[in-house]
Structures are given as structure tokens and as C-alpha cells.
Amino acid sequence: MIREKIKKSIEDALKKLEIEAKEIHLEHPEDLSHGDYSTNVAMVLAPKSGLKPLQLAEKLKSDLSKGLQKGGFIEKIDIAGPGFINFYLSPEFFNESIKEILERKSDFGKNDLGKGKKVIVEYSSPNIAKPFTIGHLRSTIIGDSIAKILEFSGHQVIRDNHIGDWGTQFGKLIVAIKKWGDEKKLNKSKNPVKILVDLYIKFHKEVEKNPKLEDEAREWFKKLEQHDKETFSLWKKIVDWSMKEFNRLYGRLGVKFDEILPESFFEEKMREVLEEIKNKKIGQMSEGALVIFFTEESHLPPLLVQKSDGTSLYATRELATDKYRKEKYGKDIVIINEVGSEQKEYFKQIFAAEEMLGWFKKGERVHISHGLYRLPEGRMSTRKGNAVWLEDIVNEAVKRAGEFNREVAEPVAIGALKFNDLKRESKSDIVFSWDEILNLKGDSGPYLQYTYARARSVLLKAEQEKIKPSTIYHLPATDPERLLYRFPEVVERAVREYSPHYIAIYLLDLASAFNSFYNEIKIVDKNDPDSPYKVALTQAVSIILKNGLWLLGIQTPEKM
């Protein structure tokens, strides 16, 4: 890659001056008028060299310029500001890069950072009998994109959906069904999950008046863990009702999993884990429960792995899950959990426990966290009944997108929702707003889809006019060209930091550069000798947009 070439030549130039450099910083200036690459070495190393930054920059420049040849990849080198050395790439370079994009097509941007690496990405993980809300959407969308980016970078990826189908909440739900519900009604209902959630909310209201209900719920969960026949079949029904709804949503979102191993799958495997914890003397009994304590420096609170009534907890299932995964996928497996940031401390506990057990080394367990969706008035909560259901949002989005174009309303609406989550760094909270989440203009998914459709339409016209794309002619470097070749770098950064938003922001820049280009000139023009080159450029833009949007899980309709 060009980046490495420039770095190497800077290194050589420094060596000649006998200056040692730990790391050479090479970046893209924010402003395209400052060139394509820029380095600050002259400023960083000036004190060491005994020269002023500008003097050192001059010396380096004169040496670097010697290596420039006609027809090479670098057109000129400039010194600017307090001592930046700026590199301007040549038209020949841009020609080559477009050629490469047209040749590699959907493979362009791939890298081998993940060669030979196996990774499980766990995301979405909704809870049975709870609404699939806007909150789960974040994990689903970000996780799906991260899985795609990892795959694009050569990792072997296993997508896992760890459905929450076990735990005390089922005790609560069963109490509520028995007391206030009607199984026949539930069976017939089109929306059984809504009824279940209402029952769940009712339980939490009633429990304030009558705390004994909690004990009843715990009893029912215990019955469930003992596989009481009637209880078990009721539980099974509840799971089926919910899964039907989840699968309908996954279908619409275009999200797939390789493996769906719900918590209940690990039910039998928990005893083994508890024994291992006891045998390795990692846990101890405290107030009748089995608890893991951590070192004082870690500042971590103790982790409960078995309740005093002998039943399991979320953490128990988590540990059993990871043990199973390790056994199934081999010792070098990396496990990533895409889960909300409110579980940050909890995951630290889990990772610490798994290290103590000798299962995983540092870096083999990763928690990618995201902030939560909040309402202007506070937190969303199933119990309070103020959560926003995802299906309502998707339907509303499709309605709004349909006002522009009915045919592509669904992919455009989904694209808008996904992009809204992926365009930002995921750690901060989002205050829910219909206008923000359903934004179809400006910095949005539909903007990118629109730009793609526009590029495709240009290409169609070029075909009709029989203008074949060619990388032989060239213009002075245009803005879109100066962004196109960066795509692989952006992908690499997104993998390294598990951050799809770098791709999202990059695509916006590229699309905006292309749209300006499009507006200023005519691309398809028989009388223009540069037209074939402009067509090739357009084709390259369409390829990058398609690849980039694919990594974000966003569809690219040909027309809209």
C-alpha cells in the first residue's frame, strides 16, 4: 500500500540524517487542500535533531523529493504550517487505484488481519417474553456490522444469539399467567408477546402491594429448574410465542445467526461449572450462596454464581456458555459480547472469573459496549411499560420512506434505522427521538443509498451511450478519487477498534464528494474525451458505496 511506501521513505530520510524515530505518524489531513498524506515528524523530532521544525522539514523534503520520479505515485511534497510535510498523490496513482477497485469489486477493501483467527460474536440476545425494543436494536445492528467487518478482514466468525430464555423472570411470568392471565387467549392471540409483557408489568405493580409474590415466583422458577412437566410445557409455549416474533423482526432487518444457543441450553452444564469453581477454590459459601470474591485492587464487587436456594443466575449461565464455547471451538477462540454499557462492571467480573479459572487469557474476552436509548423523561423500562417497540418503529419508518418511493420503502427505512445507530461512536447514550431515528435526509442511510442509485443510473446511461469505462485518460485529481483509495485503511481501523462508525462517516464523505462532482460536471458525454474516465470513477464510487454499506448491513437498491 502507498501508506507503507511513504512511511518507508520517511524512515530512510531520517536514517540519513541519523535521527531515530520510534513511530512515524502519517495521517490524512482533514482538509483535502493540504494534500493526501501528512506527517508531523519534523515537529516531533526537531528537538532531537537540534534544528528548528521548519529547517528539519526542509532537509527531509529535499531528500524525499530526490526519490520522486516522473510517473511515480507522488506528485509533489510541500511544507506547510508549523512544519507539516504534505504529500500529494499523482494522477497515475489515482488511475491505478481506480483500476484496482474495478478489478477487485466486492473484494476491494478486504484484508487479512484476521487470518487464521476464530471469533464468536454474540449480539442481539433479546429476552423471551419481553418486548424487542429499540434498545435491542443497537446490539443487533452494531453486532451484525462488527461480525461482517471481522469476516471481511479474514476472521472465521460465528454469530451467536444468546437468547434470554431462563431465569427468575419466568417464575414471575408464570405467577402472572396463573393469577390474571388466560392461556387459551394467549394461544389464539396474534400478539401474545404484548399480552405477556402486560402481565409482567402487572406483576411488578402487584408485588409492591404484596411482596410475597416474589417468593411464589421463585418457587415456580425452582419448579422449572426441576423440570416439572406442566411448568416446563408452559415455559416452552412462552418461548415459542416470543421466538416467532423475534424471527419476524430478524427477517425484516436482514440479520442472521449461525448459532442460536439460548441460556436454557446451558442448564445442564451449570453444575459442572459450579463444581469447578468449588474444586479450584475460587468461590466460597457466603450467606448460603456461592460467591466469587476478587482482589481489592480490582475494585470489583463479589460475583454471585449460585443463589441460596440452589438455583442459578445469569452469571452461572454465562460461565457455562463460555466453557462450552471453548470446548467446542478450540483453545484460541476469542469471544466478543456486544452488550449495553450498563453491564460493563458485570463483564469485568466475568472476565476476571474466567481468568481465575484459567479458561481465557487477557484479550480473548471482549465486551463491546454501547450506550442505551433513553426517553427525554428518563430510562426506558419494560416494567414501567414505556419502552418503544421496535416493530412500531420499523412500521413508522416504512410509512415515512413510502412517501418518497413506495417500492423501496422497506430497505430505505431499515437503512435509515441502521445508519442512525452506526454513524456514531457507540458508547454514548441516545435520547430517543422519532425525527432523529427516522431521518431520511442529510447524514443518513437513505442519502448513501440515494447516491448509490444515482451512480448506478449514470452507469446505465453510459452503457446506453456506449461509453466504456476507462482508466487510461485522467483529469487533475478530483475529490472522490482522493477518498476512494482510503477505503481499505478505514476498514482496518474499524476492525482494530471494533467501530463500524468509521466506515459510516467515511461513506458520507465519499458520497458528498461524489455528489458535488456529479453536480458540477456532466459525466456521460460523447464529446468529452475524459468521459470514459469519469464513468470509471463513478463505477468505483458505486463499488465502494456498495461494499461499505454491505459492511453496515444496509441494502443498496439500484433505483430509488
The residue assigned the cell 521513505 is 9
- The correct pick among 412, 537, 545, 554 for binding RNA (CB under 7 A) is 412
Asked whether position 38 contacts RNA by CB under 7 A, the answer is: yes
Site map (CB under 7 A) of RNA, residues 336-355, x = contact? -----xxxxxx---------
The residues, ordered by sequence, that sit 6+ positions from 390 with a Cβ below 8 Å of its Cβ are: 131, 132, 133, 134, 136, 137, 249
The stretch among 14-22, 133-141, 199-207, 294-302 that binds RNA (CB under 7 A) is: 294-302
Rounded least distance, CB 369 to RNA, Å? 8
Is there binding between residue 440 and RNA (CB under 7 A)? yes
What's CA 496's distance to the chain center, in Å?
12
Is the alpha carbon torsion for 241, 244, 250, 252 positive or negative? negative
Question: Do 488 and 109 meet the contact criterion of CB atoms below 8 Å apart?
Answer: yes
What does the H/E/C string look like for 283-352? EEEECCEEEECCCCCCCCCCEEEECCCCCECHHHHHHHHHHHHHHHHCCCCEEEEEEEHHHHHHHHHHHH
Binding to RNA (CB under 7 A) within 308-327 occurs at 308-309, 311, 313-315
Q: Of the candidates 7, 21, 24, 44, which one interacts with RNA according to CB under 7 A?
A: 44
**Among candidates 55, 50, 56, 47, which has minimal Cα distance to 10?**
56
Q: Which is nearer to RNA, 157 or 316 (CB)?
A: 316
Q: How far is the CB of 51 from RNA (least distance, A)?
A: 13
Written as nine digits, the cell of 456 is 448506478
Q: How far is CA 430 from the centre of its chain?
A: 16
User: Does 387 engage in binding with RNA (CB under 7 A)?
Assistant: no
Q: Is 86 in the site for RNA (CB under 7 A)?
A: yes
Q: Applying CB under 7 A, does 55 fall inside the site for RNA?
A: no
Give least dist CB 25 to RNA, A.
6
Which strands sit side by side in the sheet containing 74-80, from one edge to the other? Answer: 26-27, 37-39, 84-89, 74-80
Name the residue nearer to RNA (CB basis): 139 or 157: 139
CA 345 to each of CA 313, 351, 373, 512, 550: distance values in angstroms, whole numbers, following the listed order: 16, 10, 19, 40, 33
- When the beta carbons of 94 and 518 are compared against RNA, the nearer one is 518
Please identify which residue in 12, 182, 272, 429 interacts with RNA, judged by CB under 7 A: 429
Q: Which residue stretch of 89-97, 190-198, 305-313, 387-395 sits at the interface with RNA (rule: CB under 7 A)? A: 305-313
Is residue 183 near RNA by the rule CB under 7 A?
A: no
Least distance (Å) between residue 339 CB and RNA = 8
Whole-number Å distance between alpha carbons of 148 and 496: 13
Q: Choose, by CB under 7 A, the member of 1, 17, 431, 475 that binds RNA.
A: 431
- Taking the mean position of all CA atoms in its chain, how far away is CA 488? 17
Rule CB under 7 A: which of 449-508 touch RNA?
Answer: 450, 453-454, 456-458, 460-461, 501-502, 505, 508
- Cα separation, 20 vs 24, in Å, equals 10
Q: How far is the CB of 469 from RNA (least distance, A)?
A: 13
Looking up cell 426441576 gives 226
Q: Candidates 167, 181, 469, 480: give the one binding RNA (CB under 7 A).
A: 167
* Burial status of residue 421 (CB atoms within 10 A of its CB: 0-12, 13-18, 19 or more): buried
Contacts with RNA in 511-540 (CB under 7 A)? 511-512, 515-516, 518-525
For residue 87, give the nearest of 53, 52, 51, 61 by alpha carbon.
61
Among residues 372, 375, 388, 477, the one that binds RNA under rule CB under 7 A: 372
State which residue, 260 or 315, has the beta carbon closest to RNA: 315
When binding is defined by CB under 7 A, the residue of 7, 29, 92, 388 that contacts RNA is: 29
